[in-house]
Amino acid sequence: MDKLGGYAGNILKVDLTTGSITSTPLSPELAAKYLGGAGINAWLAYDCIQPHTSAVSPGNALVFGAGPLVGTLAPGAGRSNFTAKSPIAHFIGTSGSGHMGALKFTGYDHVIVTGKANSPVYLEIGDEVKIREAGHIWGKDTWEAADTIWGELGRKYAVAAIGPAGENLIKDASVITNKYSAFGTTGMGAVLGSKNLKAIAVCGSQGISVADPKRFMELANGLCKEIMDFPFIDYFRSLGTLTTLPDLIKGEPYGSIPYKNCQQVADEEVMKGFDVNMFFDPKMMEEHGNISCLGCPVGCKHFMRIKNGPAMGISCASAPVVCFGGICGLDGWAEVYKCAELCNRLGMCYGSVACLIAMAIELYQRGIIDKKDTGGLELDWQPGVVQDLLQRIAHRKDFGNILADGLLEAPRRIGRGADYYAMQYKGIGCSISDARSSWSLWSSSLLTNVTGQSHSPRELYGQPREVVEATLRAMGISGEDMERVLSGPGEYNVGWLTRWTEDYVFAVECFGVCTFYHQLLNIDINTWAEIYSAATGLQMDGAGLLKAAARGFDIRKAFNIREGGSRKDDTMPRRFLTEPLKARGQMRPPYDSQKLDQMVTDYYEARGWDPEEGTVSPERLAELIR
């Protein structure tokens, strides 16, 4: 097979210990097998990282990749992924961002960074690849680091940098790109920090060709027209992810936002300070403009300047409200965006760090910890406390040094039953929805997802059966698989539904296309297959895409099993299984543990994993690594 279209065609390998920089061709067979982006990243991580390697040791590999549609006019195809062994639960970690897809123009689809530099460095991937000295940037926050690197290389470079949190190996350290977007979850910032790698900067002059330009542009233009004709697109552009905030506050469709560490829900009463119309109010917002990811005609990210608050770029405008307004119980736009600004500058994941802080405040309120534990701090649901703790965590100062070890390790260090108050799935903070308020595909995917995070599934739970059926058909689900989904135990089988929606979403993610495109439009899997085929020249149908996506889940599961993962990891916070939830004046019962067990079994069965243990069979593994 000749070189495929769409792909840049090369994998860059950088060993920071030796300074070795080499390149190998991306084989068309590997491309077809795992599609690209997060899919090929997963395989490369499985292949490069020896079992039981410490996530913050030179042996861990940071894999950076962008999919085959990235760098083309396929709308929304700007995303890239960082993948590595995560320092949080020691499973595979993956995080995506819309601002580093420019990697493709450097002639590489993937970059594998191994080893550890003797002193701080940053990696310049341009028409040449250089390991540059970064001693003068070490210690700076992510915005200062980006400004310094732009000063040295020019503003055309896309820059992904860590802040003090990554340098100090905070488990929930993120990597901030161009100041306003993030590889947020699963602790990728700590992996960079452990390698003395302050930043990666990319800018190239290589072109991306497609196999069938005429057909590719017909399809890309059609998709662009469809998204721009979407009835609420102007509203979505104006508000970005805040569009969903009113529904989230109502508890739809994902379930209710947790409030004060999941002690209750963030309902209309406690969230009344977050009226989204304020976003347009000049009394609050002094400046407000769109920012796009590479190739996106929508531009749902924002640069904004809040009166008496921060001036910042932000990729997910609802996340600070959900995390700091909900989980940490703060009130007011300026306060939650101040927390977001701090998190961005320090380089930490909003969701997990908010859950860490909320855990600490609840422990203090309950008298489980006191001032002796906190270094004299009185903890309460106040902005000053939250912002102080953000600084202490990032710098591993006093009590912050304990919280810096994340939602699995910090409660172990505290002891006294603190782990009960850690609201997490596989160590990733559970900030977006409380499973007791309403079961959703979002919740179910969090439960079983290989990385403990999910922006994945399209939300179908609670939809009429005919809508589910039509959506599944568009996703390419038919025959026996459709029957299994629709066979229950309830109205439909959540475990099976989760598997198929995850595969559809992951295929698109591997292309490098933003999740909002398929959340807004019900795009047929065969349309995606046509776009992929026109771009690459590789004839693949929708079923082929779903098979490739399933390989991406299986290889990541195999990674986790190899690290000692088991069924016990596929669970939810114990609080959800034991405590009722006060939601809108009513008490909702704890989540039924038998129902949870059945859902996990159904999901394993749907994936073809061992229904008891969730393991990938030796035969399947042999296929994956062949």
**Which residues contact other proteins by CB under 8 A?**
71-73, 105, 150, 155-156, 178-180, 204-210, 213, 217, 224, 228, 287, 289-299, 303, 311-313
Beta-carbon contacts of residue 619 (< 8 Å; ≥ 6 apart): none
Nearest CA-CA partner of 104 in 217, 183, 205, 214: 205
- As measured in angstroms, the least distance from the Cβ of 17 to other proteins is 32
- As measured in angstroms, the least distance from the Cβ of 287 to other proteins is 8
What is each CA distance from 236 to 59, 245, 514, 576, in whole angstroms? 43, 12, 14, 32
CA distance 494 to 287: 43
Helix axis angle, 618-625 relative to 542-562, nearest 10°? 110
Q: Kindly tell me which of 255 and 512 has the beta carbon lying closer to other proteins.
A: 512
Q: Kindly tell me which of 181 and 449 has the beta carbon lying closer to other proteins.
A: 181
Q: Kindly tell me which of 209 and 519 has the beta carbon lying closer to other proteins.
A: 209
Amino acid at 214: K
Residue showing tokens 């077809």: 32
Residue 189 dihedral angles phi and psi, to the nearest 5°: -65, -35
- As measured in angstroms, the least distance from the Cβ of 299 to other proteins is 4
Q: Kindly tell me which of 246 and 297 has the beta carbon lying closer to other proteins.
A: 297
Asked if residues 11 and 545 have their Cβ atoms less than 8 Å apart, the reply is no
DSSP-assigned letters across all residues of 98-149:
SS-GGGGGGT-SEEEEES--SS-EEEEESSSEEEEE-TTTTT--HHHHHHHH
Q: Kindly tell me which of 38 and 74 has the beta carbon lying closer to other proteins.
A: 74
CA distance 220 to 159: 28
What is each CA distance from 283 to 159, 240, 242, 333, in whole angstroms? 33, 20, 19, 12
Q: Kindly tell me which of 292 and 527 has the beta carbon lying closer to other proteins.
A: 292
Q: Kindly tell me which of 248 and 316 has the beta carbon lying closer to other proteins.
A: 316
Q: Kindly tell me which of 51 and 154 has the beta carbon lying closer to other proteins.
A: 154
Q: Kindly tell me which of 49 and 208 has the beta carbon lying closer to other proteins.
A: 208
- As measured in angstroms, the least distance from the Cβ of 36 to other proteins is 16
- As measured in angstroms, the least distance from the Cβ of 229 to other proteins is 12
Provide the 3-class DSSP secondary structure of residue 165: helix
Q: Kindly tell me which of 105 and 576 has the beta carbon lying closer to other proteins.
A: 105
- As measured in angstroms, the least distance from the Cβ of 402 to other proteins is 34
Beta-carbon contacts of residue 470 (< 8 Å; ≥ 6 apart): 522
- As measured in angstroms, the least distance from the Cβ of 72 to other proteins is 5
Nearest CA-CA partner of 160 in 184, 140, 182: 182
- As measured in angstroms, the least distance from the Cβ of 277 to other proteins is 22
Asked if residues 349 and 172 have their Cβ atoms less than 8 Å apart, the reply is yes
Q: Kindly tell me which of 5 and 39 has the beta carbon lying closer to other proteins.
A: 5
Q: Kindly tell me which of 179 and 195 has the beta carbon lying closer to other proteins.
A: 179
- As measured in angstroms, the least distance from the Cβ of 376 to other proteins is 37
Q: Kindly tell me which of 8 and 441 has the beta carbon lying closer to other proteins.
A: 8
CA distance 389 to 166: 16
Structure tokens at 247: 């529904």
Asked if residues 172 and 356 have their Cβ atoms less than 8 Å apart, the reply is yes
Provide the 3-class DSSP secondary structure of residue 21: strand
Structure tokens at 218: 């017909």
Q: Kindly tell me which of 70 and 330 has the beta carbon lying closer to other proteins.
A: 70
Q: How many CB atoms sit inside 10 A of residue 17's CB?
A: 12
Structure tokens at 295: 């190739």
Provide the 3-class DSSP secondary structure of residue 490: coil
- As measured in angstroms, the least distance from the Cβ of 555 to other proteins is 29
Q: Kindly tell me which of 237 and 250 has the beta carbon lying closer to other proteins.
A: 237
Q: Is 209 exposed, middle or buried (0-12, 13-18, 19+ CB in 10 A)?
A: middle
- As measured in angstroms, the least distance from the Cβ of 86 to other proteins is 30
Beta-carbon contacts of residue 255 (< 8 Å; ≥ 6 apart): 433, 434, 435, 437, 438, 439, 440, 442, 443
Q: Which residue(s) pair with 199 in the sheet? A: 122, 161
Q: Kindly tell me which of 155 and 371 has the beta carbon lying closer to other proteins.
A: 155
Beta-carbon contacts of residue 601 (< 8 Å; ≥ 6 apart): 495, 611, 612
String of b and e for 508-528 (b: at least 16 CB within 10 Å)?
A: bbbbbbbbbbbebeebebbbb
Nearest CA-CA partner of 591 in 579, 608, 607: 579
- As measured in angstroms, the least distance from the Cβ of 8 to other proteins is 11
Count CA atoms closer than 13 A to 185's CA, side-chain side: 26
- As measured in angstroms, the least distance from the Cβ of 96 to other proteins is 17
Count CA atoms closer than 13 A to 118's CA, side-chain side: 2
- As measured in angstroms, the least distance from the Cβ of 78 to other proteins is 8
- As measured in angstroms, the least distance from the Cβ of 149 to other proteins is 12
